[in-house]
Amino acid sequence: MTAPRAPRPPRPSGPPRPSDPRRPPWHVGDALALRYAQGAAPETDAWSLEKHVESCAPCATRVSAAVRAGAAGPVLAEVRSALLTSLGHRTASAPAAPADRATAPRSPLGRGARLWWTVGPALRGSWVVAVLLVVGGAFGLAYGAGVQGARSLLLAVSPALPLAGVAVSYGRHADPLYEITAATPSGGLRLLLTRTAAVLAVCVPLLTAGGALLPPVAGFPGAAAWLLPGLALTLATLALGSFVGCRPAAATLGGGWLLAVTGPLLGRSEAGGSPGAAALTAYFSGPAAQGGWAAAALACAALLALRRRSFDHLEPR
Amino acid sequence: MNPSTAVAVTGLTVRHRRTVALDRLDLSLGPGVHGLLGPNGAGKTSLIRVLATVAAPFSGRVELLGGDATSHRERTGIRRRLGYLPQEFGYYPGFTVREFVAYVAWLKEMPSDRVPAAVERAVRRVGLGDRIDAKMKTLSGGMVRRAGIAQAVVNEPELLLLDEPTAGLDPEQRVDFRSLLRELGTGATVVVSTHLVEDVAAACTEVALIEGGRLAFQGTTGELTALGGVSTEGNDSTTHAVERGYTAALRAHRTSAENAREALR
């Protein structure tokens, strides 16, 4: 939540002042606030003040009060009430004193909040950190330790990451509001799909770009090769989740995938060269593999569509 | 069906794996505050969950607010007019009370121009007006439960389901809460599951007593009290009288259930 901004007249045009080392204890005095409100403050002082009130709530309040008490006050009040009416605050009235400003009803449904709420707990800090760690780890291996196959490692792990995101964003174990949301018209599958979309929206660019920036491995598919397996596994998690709940489904499929890729990775790394790249290629490379993943994704999507009503009720314990 | 009947349940059976939580229950509730009483494990939460549309019945008909709760399309309409406080619920710690309640209002598809005022009213009604912009994680247990009640009433529900709402409230808050219940019960159908007989005595116009998945008693609070007979003790209070009625109704139900089993042998 940001501190309420002071209303400001249009910024005077002109180049910004070269950054002066601002002394921390400096604050806006009443005299300067008054001159600023009257438009009589020197331009350099006005700039300093404007910069300062962006980060200092007490000064912002003082300047707001001065501006509101001045000639601009009635105009500001009018603009404010017009704005609030258009936003649906019929009960809100223009504040008379700075104290009211803090308690005036803020719209809890701003555009940003709406998006944030749609996503809900999907983008949990811990999960985003995990994704960043995986990408960062791959970079560390590639450029720090000089490991050749970092890109294939990242590619191997990538399809399991959205599953973890789904597991921490929906369901009895992950969402503290789960039972409350289940009794609302927006709960259930709609919420699950929105949160899954949010998870994919973070995963896809991050992991694909990360893979593309790593040194290529000879004979190994491109950075986008994980997309279809990732999508198929995600949809499979949702479909399986309709029977057993999202967390067990994600654990089963994610764990199964990691087991399936660990075997080849460990087996070949002793033989030297890029670890398991050739064995992994079978999962990703070629029209047959990718076509198989696409078919699997479609099948899981169809199963999910058939099972859509199961999300109307609480998932099994 | 009587249009004022908000809840009409017939032959409701709910199963959890092998155990039967509700056994061919028939129940019909109209406007007013209904206390749902019963020993632990009697099936109170199972019934509330079915009425809140979050649990599917194994068999039976569930009509809520004139709609069929087992049909997806009608269920969505029912859910907009429903308020539900689960026995256990959590919150996003970073949310303020205002955001928490507004989030649920948004999930209930309330028109967004009505949300800010409705949120403030709901929060004021549960006595949290001075903490509306406090983070949920800074609230005490009783305050969290009141915020939970606020989210349940934010859409002015026609059917309000509260599972153990007084747990964690101190005596003074319970008194306030009961007066809120009475106020809500003037227009809506309110179902309060509780194990505190005094909640029922103070706030409920009618009582449904559940035991072993069956309805053991349904009637007004006065009728339940009358079942207990006249006290032989001098210092009798309303709560005592209702407690005696509760015990008498349970005993009568158990005896008749045993007789029925005997007859079957």
Is A76:A68 a contact under the CB 8 Å cutoff? Answer: yes
- Mind telling me how many Å the CA of B124 is from chain A's nearest CA? 13
Is residue A117 situated within a structural domain? yes
Domain boundaries of chain B, sorted by first residue:
1-81+160-168+190-265
Q: How far apart are CA A131 and CA A123, in angstroms?
A: 11
Is residue A11 situated within a structural domain? no
Is residue A175 situated within a structural domain? yes
Residue A126 pLDDT class (50, 70, 90 cuts): confident
**Residue where a domain stops, chosen among A48, A83, A107:** A107
Is residue A13 situated within a structural domain? no
Residue A276 pLDDT class (50, 70, 90 cuts): low
| Same domain assignment for residues A95 and A126 | no
Residue A89 pLDDT class (50, 70, 90 cuts): very low
Tell me which residue range forms the domain holding A247.
Answer: 112-312
| Same domain assignment for residues A172 and A308 | yes
Q: Is the pLDDT of residue A108 over 70?
A: no
Residue A87 pLDDT class (50, 70, 90 cuts): low
| Same domain assignment for residues A206 and A174 | yes
Q: How far apart are CA A316 and CA A242, in angstroms?
A: 9
ipTM over 0.90: yes
Inform me whether the C-beta atom of residue B95 falls under 8 Å from chain A C-beta atoms.
no
Residues of A in contact with B86 (CB under 8 A): 179-180
Residue A128 structure tokens: 């985003």
Question: Which residue would you say has higher pLDDT here, B160 or A133?
Answer: B160
The stretch A184-210 carries a mean pLDDT of 90
| Same domain assignment for residues A84 and A208 | no
Is residue A9 situated within a structural domain? no
The pLDDT value recorded for residue A283 is 85
Alpha-carbon Rg for chain B in angstroms: 19
| DSSP H helices in chain A | 30-38, 43-53, 57-69, 73-87, 98-103, 111-119, 125-139, 150-157, 161-167, 178-182, 189-213, 227-244, 246-269, 277-284, 286-306
pLDDT more than 90, % of chain A = 26
| Same domain assignment for residues A290 and A175 | yes
* SS3 (DSSP) at B111: coil
Residues of B in contact with A314 (CB under 8 A): 49, 54-55
Question: Which residue would you say has higher pLDDT here, B195 or A290?
Answer: A290
| Same domain assignment for residues A66 and A154 | no
What's the structural domain count of chain A? 2
Task: Give the fold, CATH level 3, of B1-81+160-168+190-265.
Answer: Rossmann fold (3.40.50)
| Same domain assignment for residues A87 and A146 | no
The bridge status of strand B19-29 relative to strand B7-16 is: antiparallel
Q: What is the pLDDT of residues A160-194, one digit of tens each?
A: 999 998 888 888 888 889 999 999 998 889 889 98
Q: Which of A98-102, A240-244, A282-286 has the lowest average pLDDT?
A: A98-102
| Same domain assignment for residues A68 and A211 | no
The pLDDT value recorded for residue A54 is 72
Which of A83, A111, A177 is best to mutate for the B interface (most B CBs within 10 A)? A177
Closest chain B residue to A311 measured between Cα atoms?
B54
Stretches where chain B sits below pLDDT 70 are 1-3, 231-236
Identify how many contiguous H helices and E strands chain B contains and give both numbers.
9, 10
Residues of A in contact with B56 (CB under 8 A): 312-313
Cα torsion B208, B44, B34, B25: sign: negative
Q: What is the pLDDT of residues A18-50, one digit of tens each?
A: 444 444 567 888 888 888 777 777 777 877 777
**Residue where a domain stops, chosen among A90, A107, A124:** A107
Q: Which of A145-149, A290-294, B118-122 has the lowest average pLDDT?
A: A145-149
Is B210:B216 a contact under the CB 8 Å cutoff? Answer: yes
| Same domain assignment for residues A150 and A278 | yes
Residues 6+ apart with CB under 8 A from A258: A157, A160
The stretch A87-92 carries a mean pLDDT of 45
| Same domain assignment for residues A173 and A273 | yes
The pLDDT value recorded for residue A286 is 84
Inform me whether the C-beta atom of residue B90 falls under 8 Å from chain A C-beta atoms.
yes
Is residue A24 situated within a structural domain? no
Closest chain B residue to A173 measured between Cα atoms?
B90
- Mind telling me how many Å the CA of B80 is from chain A's nearest CA? 6
Q: Is the pLDDT of residue A229 over 90?
A: yes
Q: How far apart are CA B263 and CA B265, in angstroms?
A: 6
| Same domain assignment for residues A199 and A156 | yes
Is residue A155 situated within a structural domain? yes
Residue A305 structure tokens: 């569509």
| Same domain assignment for residues A118 and A179 | yes
**Residue where a domain stops, chosen among A107, A136, A161:** A107
Please provide the average confidence, as pLDDT, over all residues in chain A: 77
